[in-house]
Structure 1
Amino acid sequence: MKRMAHILLRDEDVISWSISFLEDYRLAQGKISSTSQSLGEVSVKWCKPDVGFYKINTDAAINGKSQKFGCCGRNSSQLVAASSVQCISACLSPQAAEASAILMGFHVVVEANLLPVVLESDAKWVVESINDIRPSYTDIGIIFTDIVDVMSEFSISCFLHF
């Protein structure tokens, strides 16, 4: 039994609540279509880009004061054309970390000349915010502005959430 706020809860109740919370979260994030799907059935399949295009996927991970950004670019034959990982010691918000991963991904695209490109990220709010850019002088707004600048300089127009 666990004791929370002067209430005793059975382990089974805590686990049941946790699974329900996670399913609700994933449903809200668009990862599953209904709460009837079990957690084991959730999967996202990578789709290759059209012939002549590259696809770069980005992601960020936060562990305390350590932030890690990664990206992987593949061609239509699904071969890795470029990849990069960066680790920094900082306290970024999850959204700023995801935006930084996307910016790093675009720098990899430009340096490796992976054009034309489709960039994918699982950070829905970040993708929507970049696609609907408005001037902002917050920490994340400045990252968004840098991303939009790179996209316009290199005519990158395809930016997706998966």
Structure 2
Amino acid sequence: MWSIWKARNLKIWQQVSDSTFTILEREKHLLEGWRIANCKQAPLRHDNSSSNTSSSHQNGDTNVQWRKPSVGRYKCNVDASFPNNSNKVGFGMCIRDSDGNHVRSKTMCFYPFCSIDVGEALGLYHALRWIQELQLTNVDFEVDFKRIADYFNKGHGDVTEFGFIMDSNIHFCNTYLKNSHVEFIRRQANEVAHALAKTATSSTSFLVFDDIPACISDLIFNEMT
């Protein structure tokens, strides 16, 4: 019903006529996203950390610790948090320089609750625009949701809400942040952004930290040593 309603709105407000195939494909993607978001198997995290832990060790994957960006670049770690029994999603993002020093952090809250893939895509959406507002260049964005990095680097044509947001992210980055890119990392290398995202859900507005907030001070220190 949502897909049909969206097709109707596109027709009225944007003079875009969706084909029956497009409406059905959007419905299938939306339903699959809903099923994934409502999966109750606790051991399986949305970043696939449980299912990939053993294979990453077997394959010698060393991308499990946060690493400083190369000289002259910044790194922005991004994550989203989906607390149980809550109608909101928290976003956390942290910028650090090539020496590993904390530059700035930000937390945000989003209403209402959405699917995991849409929430993670929105986290990147806000991070990209924040970086552009700060007039920073040469930024490496890191996320622990593999579908985000995969779509950003080689995906297209997804007609779901996730696809619309990611297409906007790609266009924005290609326009304003041409020397930046998005990479997938393991959850262990994204603890700072995750801690910020969890903190965000206890606030009713966005917060920007020029100094290191208490919730990530130990994590920052440990990753710099």
Q: Identify the TM-score tier after normalising by the shorter chain.
A: 0.7 to 0.9
The equivalent of 2:141 in structure 1 is 119
Closer/same/farther in 2, CA of residues 34 and 156 from structure 1, 3 Å limit: closer
Question: Post-superposition, which runs of at least 4 consecutive aligned residues in structure 1 deviate over 4 A?
Answer: none
Cα-to-partner distance string for 1:69-118 (whole Å, 9 max, x where unaligned): 11101100112222211102212111111111111111121111221111
Q: 2:70 matched to 1:50?
A: yes
Closer/same/farther in 2, CA of residues 26 and 136 from structure 1, 3 Å limit: closer
Structure 1, unpaired ranges of 5+? 1-17, 37-42
AA paired with 1:158? H
AA paired with 2:49? R
Q: How does 1:2-151 map to 2 (within 5 A)?
A: 21=43, 26-28=49-51, 30-33=52-55, 44-63=64-83, 64-151=86-173
Secondary structure of the equivalent of 1:33? helix
Bigger relative contact order, structure 1 or 2 (CA pairs below 8 A, ≥6 apart) = 2
AA paired with 1:66? K
The equivalent of 2:184 in structure 1 is 161
Equivalent residues of 1:65, 1:90 under 8 A apart: yes
More helix by proportion, 1 or 2? 2
Closer/same/farther in 2, CA of residues 114 and 138 from structure 1, 3 Å limit: same
Aligned-pair identity (%): 26
Separation in 1, partners of 2:54, 2:88: 29
More strand by proportion, 1 or 2? 1
Question: Aligned-pair distance for 1:67?
Answer: 0.4
Cα-to-partner distance string for 1:27-68 (whole Å, 9 max, x where unaligned): 53x3443799xxxxxx93110000100000000001231101
CA RMSD of aligned residues (A): 2.7
Structure 2, unpaired ranges of 5+? 1-40, 186-225
Closer/same/farther in 2, CA of residues 139 and 80 from structure 1, 3 Å limit: same
Separation in 2, partners of 1:69, 1:156: 24
The equivalent of 1:3 in structure 2 is none
Equivalent residues of 2:89, 2:112 under 8 A apart: yes
